Structure 1
């Protein structure tokens, strides 16, 4: 096998936020770093390139955000109503939505290091702005909700552009169109990476490898094997390159698989969205996230979830999965004119599929659902709506009574024309199953011992998310464990270099 002309202290496999966080972290510690990117240069960036940039952190209170936001002026802060959200609130959210299954040590790393990591990202040129989708105007105030008030400037595109610029400034090498295929080990320590480039295999010598190349969401075969046959035709919301290569390599090298391999981050997405992420139209423009304000019915005109069970940040990952279970894997989000002005910007885009009608009967016909069943669903729902104050910036308790499934918050009658129906299906974003790491991002073998020189970050970290996850935690986890893995790898390389 051909050997690459240069060896490295650290090789990072992957090309998204986690990978470049790791690469830059190791490089600033003085390491010689190579990033191995499976995609071409014009299709780089992994899933991170497609995200809308929302990133969850333990900011504390409004004062904690003053040095984070780049787009708010001093006078703007007088209009901001910002709930407290510290490490405890973040940790509790993770444990709540995963039903207490998240590995405590990993959850504590994520929550405790989230804010410091944001500041570190800023120091390398990543810019953060107000997440306009996380507040409602109320009494001339920006009333924030859901613990997710920050996003990256220009979404995932801006995030990755900043990382690429900084990596270039620091002298991080990058190989494109290069797929990692196997790890080289000697005495339970990593000594190289075998890659495939232009149909040829070659070995790159290294002292350590950081695996940050995503889950298996883009592999139809693995989706069906681990999550279920119904996932065969799920829309892939990000890159086509996340096919589980890193997981395969790690497990072959002795890593322990762990976590919820049967679950994933799924989201309701436009029924006519591209079947795989379109690099010409990134930015997460096809998702449909305002459903707590409306109703959701399936292709038979029947509701199947409690749209208002919680803020969307805590339900969209599991409601996407519920949509996949419906006939033809299709559903409709419904809104009347009362709530139409409150919808997120993606509902206004030209790419958004929508039918509009001036009566419920006409809406049913345009949706091509059974009219009588649909009208029964709406009339039964309307009759169950209870009185109360409506406030989309809090869980207002304005609910239904005697309805199954209930609508627990934000229940308004659906009766003001015109009416809108947005057809949606399930889009898969990333998988939850991964490999076992400790609180230093070291990959562990079957005896809970670190495999020397092997680390993981991003989607590959198993044991953190089960069944569900708090929105914005994927990007944050990628950055936190990316930064940590780079630091830990650098310490390891220094130790083995000294011994040599």
Structure 2
């Protein structure tokens, strides 16, 4: 008999297991269908970003590891309030998110981050490389997100693995959960396959933390649409919707947005069915707000500067997927290219195409799938003209990547469709560079209905918690709709994982 069994070895599942031990559980087991080398689920492939309420720079100095005094004196960081965090989730989800679920994440965010640092040993850092620009000698943070982890997801999962070992939590790899055991309407354990044999494990509590269905081509086509067969899987290939089927078998209710997912610009040369365990999140290509996006027909299809990158990147992959051939080109000249993050755009990471003129660049891109080089040149000519006209009409506006600078393509005399609302620079100085991108799917938004006070999974028939069954991570439904603010997924996994662990301990007691 176990006090608690966690299904899934990722960030959220690890939080649940560690919280259960901390709250008094003596026998905690993690079952993971992936082999040991794939431990960590999707969390391993992240940049480790955690969005949280905070009071400004000095709130984080006790927990970050890359802020010596000489660096602190150069940082500009505004506080991020509960009202701002809530508003970001709600506006990006068109106000469809469950307010109680959102409130639980927001209110628990700062405490969860502190717990991860102090109790788990997560090596938090300020995300200078992803969330700040060095402008006039100042590190200016933008978009509400400031925390990352040393060595990204790899560092995050390594910290969890050390903490689990110290806490005495055992993990059984290559052990898929195939059925939940129930008695009198309560979950009483789980059936797993171990070494090819069916094993019944009894437990007072089961926490489902085994991800969404993003790695299942069949479920993507069913829920998201057939075009999603062309999406590249950014993370683990083992997130195939197991938690949904397990919970449904026990009478659980579904919740949330099954028609959308987190999907971003991803390297077109990346593997199709899984992430790269060496390059990890470096295959993201998130510099698009600074340049121009064009499809295979040479046409722009999105407002690259609609908002800060971490408010648009999770839905931009969907826009790329819908283009001819399911790919696009990101285009830059040196003024923008110098601001691109080296970990994503360095020569060792990306296969970029370069040329000394836009005409020569278009010629080269034909070999990479560009179907209409003349249309691309016409698009760029029109875009450049619109940028210059807007600059002439608003000479007071200055380009600044750390704020929404209003430097757009729109003026009384010219414009383009779609517009570019911020950070619009003409492409006019060689060498010009193009990067081919595809759609990379990260995680799905639809999941299980839970009680936001306990993370208990709700029954479809009664809308009340199923005793002994809890949920965290990507499986939680009702939080994200259509889009999401970057860094809030890992935070939500920690908040509900801790909650589930504490509730499991109550049952064990």
TM-score normalised to structure 2 length: 0.94
TM-align CA RMSD? 1.0
Give CA deviations for 1:339-393 in whole Å, capped at 9, x if unaligned. 1110012101513121001111111111112121111100111111111210110
Give CA deviations for 1:451-481 in whole Å, capped at 9, x if unaligned. 0010000000000000000001111111111
**1:379 maps onto 2:392 in alignment:** no
Q: Distance in 2 between matches of 1:280 and 1:319?
A: 23
Any conservation in 2 of the 1:50–1:277 contact (CA below 8 Å)? no
Shift of residue 196, structure 1, vs aligned partner? 1.2
Give the aligned partner of residue 252 of structure 1: 249
SS at match of 2:213: coil
Q: Distance in 2 between matches of 1:74 and 1:109?
A: 34
Q: Residues 475 and 371 (structure 1 numbering): CA distance in 2 closer, same or farther, change over 3 Å?
A: same
Give CA deviations for 1:12-39 in whole Å, capped at 9, x if unaligned. 0001000000000001112120000111
Give the aligned partner of residue 497 of structure 1: none
Q: Residues 149 and 349 (structure 1 numbering): CA distance in 2 closer, same or farther, change over 3 Å?
A: farther
SS at match of 1:339: helix
Q: Which of 258, 264, 270 is equivalent to 2:261?
A: 264
**1:66 maps onto 2:61 in alignment:** yes
Q: Distance in 2 between matches of 1:156 and 1:52?
A: 5
Shift of residue 279, structure 1, vs aligned partner? 5.3
**1:350 maps onto 2:348 in alignment:** yes
Any conservation in 2 of the 1:17–1:48 contact (CA below 8 Å)? yes
Q: Distance in 2 between matches of 1:83 and 1:413?
A: 31
Give the aligned partner of residue 134 of structure 2: 137
Any conservation in 1 of the 2:230–2:321 contact (CA below 8 Å)? no
Give the aligned partner of residue 8 of structure 1: 2
**1:23 maps onto 2:22 in alignment:** no
Q: Distance in 1 between matches of 2:190 and 2:399?
A: 57
Q: Which of 199, 213, 222 is equivalent to 1:202?
A: 199
**1:417 maps onto 2:412 in alignment:** no
Number of equivalences: 488
Q: Which of 122, 128, 133 is equivalent to 2:124?
A: 128
SS at match of 1:232: helix
Give CA deviations for 1:294-341 in whole Å, capped at 9, x if unaligned. 000001110000000000101011111000000010100000011111
Q: Which of 90, 96, 100 is equivalent to 2:95?
A: 100
**1:80 maps onto 2:70 in alignment:** no
**1:444 maps onto 2:458 in alignment:** yes
Shift of residue 245, structure 1, vs aligned partner? 0.5
Give CA deviations for 1:165-188 in whole Å, capped at 9, x if unaligned. 111101111111000011000111
Give CA deviations for 1:418-450 in whole Å, capped at 9, x if unaligned. 000000000100000000001110100122111
Q: Distance in 2 between matches of 1:57 and 1:153?
A: 17
Q: Distance in 2 between matches of 1:279 and 1:373?
A: 34
Q: Distance in 2 between matches of 1:280 and 1:451?
A: 37
Any conservation in 1 of the 2:56–2:79 contact (CA below 8 Å)? yes
Any conservation in 1 of the 2:408–2:421 contact (CA below 8 Å)? yes
Give the aligned partner of residue 401 of structure 2: 392
SS at match of 1:430: strand
Q: Distance in 2 between matches of 1:148 and 1:195?
A: 39
1:6-405 → structure 2 map (5 Å cutoff): 7-31=1-25, 32-123=27-118, 124-131=120-127, 132-278=129-275, 280-345=277-342, 346-368=344-366, 369=370, 370-385=372-387, 386-387=390-391, 388-401=397-410, 402-405=415-418
Where structure 1 has 5 or more consecutive residues not aligned to the other structure, the ranges are 1-6, 495-500
Q: Distance in 2 between matches of 1:12 and 1:378?
A: 52
Give the aligned partner of residue 455 of structure 1: 470
Q: Distance in 1 between matches of 2:303 and 2:66?
A: 36
Any conservation in 2 of the 1:49–1:282 contact (CA below 8 Å)? no
SS at match of 1:174: strand
**1:491 maps onto 2:491 in alignment:** no
Shift of residue 199, structure 1, vs aligned partner? 2.1
Give CA deviations for 1:145-178 in whole Å, capped at 9, x if unaligned. 0111110111001110110111110111111100
Give the aligned partner of residue 394 of structure 2: none
1:468-479 → structure 2 map (5 Å cutoff): 468-479=483-494
SS at match of 1:365: helix
Shift of residue 77, structure 1, vs aligned partner? 1.5
Q: Distance in 2 between matches of 1:315 and 1:429?
A: 14
Any conservation in 2 of the 1:268–1:424 contact (CA below 8 Å)? yes
Q: Residues 349 and 357 (structure 1 numbering): CA distance in 2 closer, same or farther, change over 3 Å?
A: closer
Any conservation in 2 of the 1:309–1:407 contact (CA below 8 Å)? yes
Q: Distance in 2 between matches of 1:185 and 1:254?
A: 10
Q: Distance in 1 between matches of 2:446 and 2:338?
A: 38
Q: Distance in 2 between matches of 1:259 and 1:146?
A: 25
Q: Distance in 2 between matches of 1:15 and 1:85?
A: 30
Deviating beyond 6 angstroms after TM superposition, the runs of 4 or more aligned structure 1 residues are: none
Structure 1 residues 9-18 or 121-130, which shifts more?
A: 121-130
